[in-house]
Chain A
């Protein structure tokens, strides 16, 4: 049983998805989906313990172990293998953890936002999306990665379109995401094809050893270009973020919480894998100036997206633009190409997943009671639903990067990485960008606490406990990881060391 954990991680939600479609009965489907989500989380944690905290390796060997699972017993590179190292397992835990917490909160929220006869479809698509994201992270085969990426993407288009009950714009947003997402995925497909042409293998580890990046023909360069653009589209790196605000704004609250927390992170993971495991930093950063390119895009993205966020009146859209900015921080961390920089980027993957997941969940609670996510509707909401609003504020503080919050940890490591290289201007820009976050978070706080409640909201009460508890679980986790960093930073550093091939 235990040696089959890697594949069970994928198969359990994959089989549960069509089961949901067959069962149809709402409570049964929910129970099944919920238990499957928590089971995947438990499996991810077990894998984490085995990869990160096992001390089977000889002293001085690279930290942690790598679990390799051969599907059907076919030896790689002929068969598909699942390969779990510190980075994959970190992402596995984040994705499955957020997936389980968000689903626990789902039933009440979707009963207001999605047509009743579509609920079982929601759970089906949700489980498929989860499967796809876990698959991308776990697989060691490039083509398998593409297929899982498309599974998660297709189901997320469907999930976003479920927002059509509330606003018909959800349909156009989903369509736009579909077009952009498919272009991105096809770019990745071209790159995989070209890389296969050069090496004759699809296994990532095998390809890394065979790819002649320096003296080989130009095909490698072309493949690398397609891959970078394709993944940037998928992870909404500025200026390829056009699909994101619409998709996040009009999707149902539950879907937004899940996608905002996980979808873009998984794409960042693909970028990390490609640059560091397959093409190697020497090619990407020294031979090609990708580090400078990424850094400029990241910084411009942080400033432009944060500024745009300040002027939004729809809070979900504001948070969506803030997500684009936060992707900038992760990419900035990657562009340093140092252990500290990568640690910052990877730790921010997790911190931002928690913060943004928590914020969107709190928004979902507010949307449930107030029926709107406009800033005007939030007047005086701090007095009507103090507990929910407080969760939002805690999340907002994390977004700014106030000490004792998880966001502070990411920024702290980013600053360290910048100063390590002596790049003062970059450090200054990171600090300055936090002020922009302060502005857009403060706007909401001001409206929520310092303006008198609207007449028509006199009946508004606190969100139900079944929604508040998962929200506070996630928000509580952001505080927890702001204080106790040995897990998050420890694993992130381990992942960074594995990626850079540094032995501590």
Chain B
């Protein structure tokens, strides 16, 4: 996370900034994914021949003690979509910036703005 954050702050190349932003976001996605894992748990998909405990809870397959939490993965699916949209928009902006300024280096853009 910090690596991505550092890249965003330190690089002046706009594409590299976007890459940093991606690393930053993806590390947060991983934080969510790790959260959903239950030790000894398997994917929460009921096999066809599933048996149930007396209280109505499904018995996990052999070799597993329980089920992992699917919710964080689902949330992150949405967050990934948001991340992709952000990246796409950022890259589109970079293309427009490149057309308008002829460069994607932040310091050169600043120079060109000062010239005019």
Contact = CB atoms under 8 A, between A and B. Distances in A.
Interface of A: 143, 146-147, 150, 154, 157-158, 161, 164, 168-169, 171-172, 174-175, 178-179, 182-183, 185-186, 189-190, 193, 196-197, 202
A158 B31 contact: no
B72 A171 contact: no
A179 B8 CA distance: 8
A480 B102 CA distance: 50
A193 B82 CA distance: 16
Contacts of B75: 143, 202
Given A171-B93, A171-B100, A183 B24 contact: yes
Contacts of B31: 190, 193
Given A183-B5, A186-B25, A147 B82 contact: yes
Contacts of B97: 168, 171-172, 175
Interface string B84-103: 01100110011011001100
B93 A196 contact: no
Given A193-B32, A197-B35, A172 B109 contact: yes
B113 interface: yes
B93 A168 contact: no
Interface of B: 1, 5, 8, 14, 17, 21, 24-25, 28, 31-32, 35, 72, 75, 78-79, 82, 85-86, 89-90, 93-94, 96-97, 100-101, 109, 113
B67 to A, nearest CB: 14
Majority secondary structure, A binding face: helix
Contacts of A174: 93
25 contacts: A143-B78, A147-B82, A154-B82, A154-B86, A161-B96, A164-B100, A169-B113, A171-B97, A172-B97, A174-B93, A175-B14, A178-B89, A178-B90, A179-B17, A179-B90, A183-B5, A183-B8, A183-B24, A185-B82, A186-B24, A189-B28, A193-B28, A193-B31, A193-B35, A197-B35
B79 to A, nearest CB: 6
A157 B93 contact: yes
Contacts of A175: 14, 90, 93-94, 97
A174 B89 CA distance: 10
A430 B51 CA distance: 69
Give 3 nearest A-B pairs by CB, closest first. A168-B100, A150-B82, A171-B97
